[in-house]
Amino acid sequence: MTDEDAFFEHARREMFPKMASSACVISILSATPDPKLCLELGAALLFDKPIIAVTIGEGFPIPARLRRLFVEHVHIDDDESLSEGPGAARLQAAIGRHVDTGRKGRR
């Protein structure tokens, strides 16, 4: 099995079921797209999940069409953490605003 085959199999067995049952998707963006990010964003769209975009550190331009996909964008500064402090609080607040939205109609 190639690395690519293993990656896709992992997506089918692990990522897709978890994403399908989640209330929303947190997408950590980078200045250059990578295959994992592309697969995750595509899956989030196909599962009709609200997407919260997260950027970390020095800002970079987010393409206009990509920005339209997100229900919210949270920027975390270089000196902030995703797990505690003000950056984490902003992310948790964004998640709280969209969790109910993601679960509506998914019974």
77 has a pLDDT exceeding 70: yes
Report d(CA 50, CA 84) in Å as an integer: 23
CATH number of the domain to which 24 belongs: 3.40.50
**pTM, whole model, 2 decimals?**
0.84
What pLDDT is stored for residue 58 in this prediction? 83
- Residues 9-55 pLDDT 10s: 999 999 999 999 999 999 999 888 889 999 999 999 999 999 999 99
Domain count of the chain?
Answer: 1
61 has a pLDDT exceeding 50: yes
**Exposed, middle or buried by CB within 10 Å (0-12, 13-18, 19+), for 103?**
middle
- When pLDDT is cut at 50, 70 and 90, the band that residue 86 belongs to is very high
Q: Is 100 left (phi over 0), alpha (psi -120 to 50) or beta?
A: alpha
Could you tell me the two tokens for 92? Answer: 């948790």
The residue with tokens 């970079």 is 60
Residue 104: CA count within 13 A, CB half-sphere: 6
For all residues of the chain together, what is the average pLDDT? 89
Look up the domain containing 15 and give its range: 3-103
